Amino acid sequence: MADQIAVVGGVDTHTDFHQAAVIESIGRHLATQAFPTTPDGYRQLLNWLRSHGEVIAVGVEGTGAYGSQLTRVLRTHQVTVIEVDRPDRRARRANGKSDPLDAYAAATAVLSGRASATPKNRDGTVEAIRTLRVVRRSAVKARTQTLNQIRTLIVTAPDQVRERLRTLHTAELIRHLARSRPGPNPSDPACAARTALRRLARRYQHLTEEITEADTELEPLVAQAAPTLVALPGVGTETAAQLLITAGDNPDRLKSEASFAHLCAAAPVPASSGRTHRHRLNRGGNRRANHALHIIALVRMRYDTRTKKYVARRTAEGMSKKDILRCLKRFIAREVYQHLTRQNPTPKPLLQTA
C-alpha cells in the first residue's frame, strides 16, 4: 500500500516464546506482543509485524541461540535481520528490565544504527560442521577427563595394582586395562580399583571411536566448504573448521579482512605510553578463533621456512615472542579471510614487514 508507514521490529528471544515489539521509523513505540516458538508462532509474529507497516528490518537478540530458527524464517520471507546484543548493565539499571522493554530496545538499536551486524546464515555446510564439532569437542573433553581419572586412580591404588601400571604409556595402558580381569571380590580395594580402571579404559576407547567417527565426517565437509583453506601451511581440519564456524556460511557479512581479524581478536590493540610505541594482543573477540590462529602460528614457526626466517629477523630487531605471535596472527587472519571469501589471491610473500 502506498500509505504504509515504515516500521522496525525488535525481538527478545526465549526458549518457549519470543517477545516482539514494533516502532515507527521516527522511534515511536507502536505495540509489543509475545509469540510461541513454533512454526505457527513464527508466522504469526511475521504477519503481526507486517500488519503495522512496511518492515525495514528486525533486530533479534540471540540469532545464534534462541533466535536461530526465527532468523531463518524471517530471511526466508526476505526480511532483513540485524543481530542485536543485549542492553548493557548500565542501561538496564537506568531503564529497568522486562521482556517488552528488551524488545523495544532491540528495535531502537537497529533504528539508531547502534546495531548493524549481519547474523550468520545457519543453513549451509558450515552449520553442519558446527553441529558435528559440538559433539566432537565434548567427546575430546570427556576423554581427557577420563584419562585424568585413570591416572589419579593409579596413584591412589594399592601397590599390587599401581606398580604394574605406573610405567605404561597411554595407549598401552588403555589396552591393558580394557583387557584386564578385576576379580570376583568388589569389597577388596585392589579388586575395586581394577574394576574402576577397566570401566574407565573402555570408556576411553569408546570416546576415541566417537572422535574418530566425527573426524571422518568432518574432514570432507571442511574440504568442501573451503578446499583452498586446508591447503595452507599449518592449517588442519580442526583449525580450518573453527575458522569456518567463526565466519559462518556467509563470510561476506564481514566487510573486510580487518573486521575478520578483529572478530578473531587478532587486530592490534595500541598499548603505547610516553616514548614507548607498541601494540599488544587483543584479549577480546572470539577466543576459539584466536586459539586456532595461535595453533597455526606455532606450527608455522616450527615447520614453515618463510615463517622461521621472519621470526629470526624480527627477533634480531629486538621484538619479543609475544609481539611476533601478534604479527603472525594478523598475517594469518588476512590470508585466511581471502580463502574464506573464496577469493583467488595471487601468490606473494605473506611475511614482509609489520
Q: Are 9 and 22 in contact (CB under 8 A)?
A: yes
Average pLDDT of the chain, as a whole number: 89
Question: Kind of pairing, strands 81-84 and 279-280?
Answer: unpaired
pLDDT score of 342: 66
Q: Which of 72-76, 94-98, 159-163, 319-323 has the lowest mean pLDDT?
A: 94-98
Q: Which domain holds residue 147?
A: 125-225
Minimal CA–CA distance to 282: which of 327, 251, 317, 238? 327
Three-state DSSP class for residue 42: helix
Query: What's the total number of domains in the chain?
Result: 3
First-residue to last-residue Cα distance in the chain: 56
**In terms of domains, do 129 and 92 share one?**
no
Residue 231 lies in a domain: no
Sequence-separated (6 or more) residues with CB below 8 Å from residue 238 = 292
**In terms of domains, do 190 and 137 share one?**
yes
Alpha helix (H) residue ranges in the chain: 39-50, 68-76, 89-95, 99-112, 125-156, 159-165, 170-179, 189-225, 237-247, 257-263, 287-303, 305-316, 321-340
Residue 350 lies in a domain: no
- Report whether pLDDT(354) > 80: no
Residue 100 lies in a domain: yes
Residue 347 lies in a domain: no
**In terms of domains, do 255 and 310 share one?**
yes
Question: Kind of pairing, strands 29-36 and 54-61?
Answer: unpaired
Angle, alpha carbons 171-169-234 (nearest 5°)? 70
pTM of the model: 0.82
Average pLDDT over residues 215-231: 93
For a pLDDT cut of 70, what percent of the chain falls above it? 92
**In terms of domains, do 219 and 259 share one?**
no
pLDDT score of 88: 63
- Report whether pLDDT(4) > 90: no
pLDDT score of 179: 94
Residue 260 lies in a domain: yes
**In terms of domains, do 151 and 206 share one?**
yes
**In terms of domains, do 10 and 43 share one?**
yes
- For residue 153 the three cell numbers come to 586412580
